[in-house]
Amino acid sequence: MSDWYKDFKEKGIKGLKSEKKGAKSEPMKLFNSTQEKAIQQMIIDKFPEQLKLDFALWTRKAVKELIAQQFNINIAIRTVGTYLKNWGFTQIKRIKI
């Protein structure tokens, strides 16, 4: 309460507004825009085996290895999924035969 009162005295009603929670997205990015475009273009234009990766199709693991190979950046597989989703790549589910 004392912090709220102090903020109110110093800034008025604006001092009571809460700021957005969580990490700021821009400073937390692992890639610059050139790297992002390069990764996306490689995924669109090539198959993993053309880039000397041991995968037939693009998976999160294949993209993770691509990023490590091309940019020497090691990221979590979950983070790869987040980037792929943000870039507009969608997941395709296998059909059981």
Q: In this predicted model, which residue has the larger pLDDT, 44 or 7?
A: 44
Q: Which two tokens stand for residue 86?
A: 């943000």
Q: Model's pTM, two decimal places?
A: 0.68
What secondary structure letter does DSSP report for 43? Answer: H
Q: Using 50, 70 and 90 to split pLDDT, how confident is the model at 23?
A: very low
Query: What's the pLDDT at 83?
Result: 93
- Nearest in space to 16 (alpha carbons), one of 26, 4, 2: 4
Q: What is the mean pLDDT of the chain?
A: 84
